[in-house]
Copies of this chain bind each other. A is one copy, B any other.
Amino acid sequence: MRVREGNKEKAIIEAAIKVIAENGYYGAKIHKIAELAGVATGSIYSYYENKLQIIFAIFDNVWKELYEKLELVEQDAAISPSQKLEALIDLVFNLFTENQDLALVFAHEQNVLIRDYPDKFTPYFEKFIQTGQNIISQGIASGVFNPSVNVFILRKYLMGGISGCIQAWALDPSSYSLAEIRDQLKLLAHKGVNI
């Protein structure tokens, strides 16, 4: 019996994030991913069924982690709705601050993947979004958020805005720090542009 040499599965995922971040999903060639991961081209296929499953795995990891963390925040009655909304923004920004390539993959590929394979995309994303929606609803119920805000539209707006900012940052990280962007987002989400 032979055993697997090391954590090739993880090496492949990490290589894939890097190659997809640089070239996009269609521009990311399997042989490039294999090369960067330090495995043979064919080995990819003993860990993942095909190219699509690799990017699905990337997003599954991301949203599973974010959902589980947000869930803990959402259930904590000691945290105010405003703080929970900020925690949501922090969670996303902290992850992408740690992994810039992942931020690019998120910003460029997720929407297209959801369009093309709505039923195959990780369910954790929808769970994360749903939890965010619950936080807004709590804020409205407790009288701190504006009840005329439509939570469904807000979630699309907020996620779109986060995505737009992260993407701009990832393309030119020198312009503004993610920390600054994060704080601006909190301001805009809470109070908008008006004084």
Of B157, B176, B188, the contact of A164 (CB 8 Å cutoff): B157
- A109-152 contacts to B (CB < 8 Å): 111-112, 115-116, 136, 139, 143-146, 148-150, 152
Checking B145, B160, B165, B193 against A193 with a beta-carbon cut-off of 8 angstroms, the contacting residue is B145
- Chain copies in the assembled complex: 2
A interface residue count range (under 10 / 10 to 19 / 20 to 34 / 35 or more): 35 or more
Classify the interface of chain A: helix, strand, loop or mixed: helix
Known contacts: A144-B195, A149-B187, A195-B144. The answer to whether A164 contacts B160 by CB under 8 A is yes
In the A-B complex, the 9 residue pairs with the smallest Cβ-Cβ separation, listed nearest first, are: A160-B164, A192-B192, A157-B161, A161-B161, A191-B192, A160-B160, A156-B168, A153-B184, A160-B161
Could you tell me which A residues sit within 8 Å of B by CB distance?
24, 26-27, 85, 104, 107-108, 111-112, 115-116, 136, 139, 143-146, 148-150, 152-154, 156-165, 167-168, 171, 175-176, 180-181, 184-185, 187-195
